Amino acid sequence: MRENHLKTQLQAQEVVLGLFINSTDPALVEIGSYAGFDFVVIDLEHGALDISVAVNLCRAADGLGLAPLVRVAKNDPAQIQAALDIGSAGVLVPQVQTEAEAIAAVKAAKFNPLGTRGLSFATRAGMYGAAGTQITEEMNHKSLVIVQVEGTEGVDNIEAIARVPHLDGIFLGPYDLSQSLGIPGQVRDMQVISLMQQCVGVIRQSGKFVGTYADNPEIAKEWINLGVQLVAVGVDVVVFLKACQSLVAQIDN
C-alpha cells in the first residue's frame, strides 16, 4: 500500500496547502503539483465530478506525489466507502453537525473492528488484490478521515465532535457558516471569524488538526498563524477565471 505522506506531514505538525478541484481534467491536478501544492480536494459535493472521474484524478495526483482527498456529497456510508476504495489519501465529509454524525462518518470510513466499511480487496486502494488480505489494519491506520463543521449547530457541538476517536481532523467551512448565520458569502464578517477562531482553539486542544478554505494568500496566512494546518487556497476553476480576468484587464486598460 502506498504511503500517505499527507497524514505524516500533519502528524508532524506541518502546514500543508491544497487546491479544490472541480474540473474533470487531470491536467489541473498535475499543474497543482508543479505549482507546489501538497494536496488536492477532488470535489464531489459541488460541480460535475463523479467517482469514475475522481479515480483518474487520484491517479494523476499519486503519479506526482500529490495527496488526493475526496470530498463526498454527503455523510453517506456508500459514498465514503467509494471515495476510499478508489485509493484516495482520505475523505472529507461535509455538513457534520453533531457527535453522532461524526461517529457515523468515522465508522463508514474504517474497517472492522473500528467501523463498518464494506470489504473488497479488488479495489484500487487494495491494489486490485495485489496488496493481500491483511491490508485492512494498514488502511485503517493510513487513511485520513476529516469532517467539515460549517454550521452554527456544528460550532455549538465542536467539543463533542473533536472528541470522536479515530477522527483525524476537522475542516471549518467559512462559506456555509456564513450562510447559517444569515450572511451568506460574507466570510470576512467578524461573526464568522470569531466562531471559527473559537473552533480552532477547541480542535487543537483535542489533538486533532484544523483545516479550512481561504480565498487568497493573505487570509491563508491569517489562519495558519492561528494554528490551522491544512489550508485549501482556491478552486481550480476560480483560479483560472481570475488569471483570465487579470489578463483581459491589463490589455483593456
Please give the Cα distance from 162 to 157 (Å, whole number). Answer: 9
Environment class of residue 188 by beta-carbon count within 10 Å: exposed (0-12), middle (13-18) or buried (19+)?
A: exposed
Out of 5, 46, 141, 166, which one is annotated catalytic? 46
Q: What b-and-e string marks burial along 35-49, b requiring 16 or more CB atoms within 10 Å of the CB?
A: eebbbbbbbbbebeb
Please give the Cα distance from 70 to 89 (Å, whole number). Answer: 8
Could you give the 3-state DSSP secondary structure of residue 173?
coil
Q: Nearest-5° angle of CA 43, CA 45, CA 48?
A: 70
- CB 70, CB 37: distance < 8 Å: no
- CB 227, CB 243: distance < 8 Å: no
Active site residue 141: no
Catalytic residues: 46
